Chain A
């Protein structure tokens, strides 16, 4: 069984569209994260939730909105997609805020 799963794995879309990426973890972890890895491979945290509460909200355009319906799920909705949003988005989870993170396989987003 996959510990941290993301859907979709690939997403190709046009500028201006709205899209969502879903993440689920079956590890019983309290903390979940969204990261963006750009073309230069730099992995930058975007958001983190702990027990469904937003605890980290880095400098991210407000077109990006996370939502955690329960501890096992953290979704990312992106409005009005731009070319610069093209990247790999990784979801991760950890037992607590200072513990090891386990990553999902990533969602490769390409905005045309």
Chain B
């Protein structure tokens, strides 16, 4: 089983749609969880940190389920500018602080 797994997509959705991404991780002792966004030919940029209590930032909601070892990202009212690759990142656990990136989920929002 890969350490961090994401559905690569692409997810092709119309403007205004709601779309959800999941990411599973294998290390139950993992400590930190993030969603990053990467635009074509650009560096990854933090979208949200993910906490056990869940967190929301405008149209974006992130959830962590430690029991099932997955994190999720929900995007409501999709905009054309949301088109990008969304990367799940899991760090640490058991004395290891190695950050592991998922392969990313591609989102295409069309008019």
B45 and A103 contacting across the interface, CB-CB below 8 Å: yes
Q: List 22 A-B contacts (CB under 8 A).
A: A35-B101, A41-B38, A41-B104, A42-B103, A45-B99, A45-B100, A56-B98, A58-B98, A90-B43, A90-B44, A97-B91, A97-B97, A98-B32, A98-B97, A99-B32, A100-B34, A100-B46, A101-B99, A102-B46, A105-B42, A106-B42, A106-B43
B residues adjacent to A (C-beta < 8 A): 31-32, 34, 38, 42-46, 49, 85, 87, 89, 91-92, 97-101, 103-104
A66 within 8 A of B: no
What is the 8 Å Cβ interface bit string for chain A, positions 43-68, against chain B (1 contact, 0 not)?
11100100000011010000000000
How many residue pairs, one in A and one in B, have C-beta atoms under 8 Å apart? Answer: 51
Interface SS of B by simple majority = strand
Residues in chain A near residue B101, CB distance under 8 A: 35, 42-45
A103 CB contacts on chain B under 8 angstroms: 43-45
Instruction: Kindly report which residue of chain A lies nearest to residue B92, judged by CB atoms.
Output: A98
Given contacts A56-B98, A97-B92, A100-B34, contact A41 B85 (CB under 8 A): yes
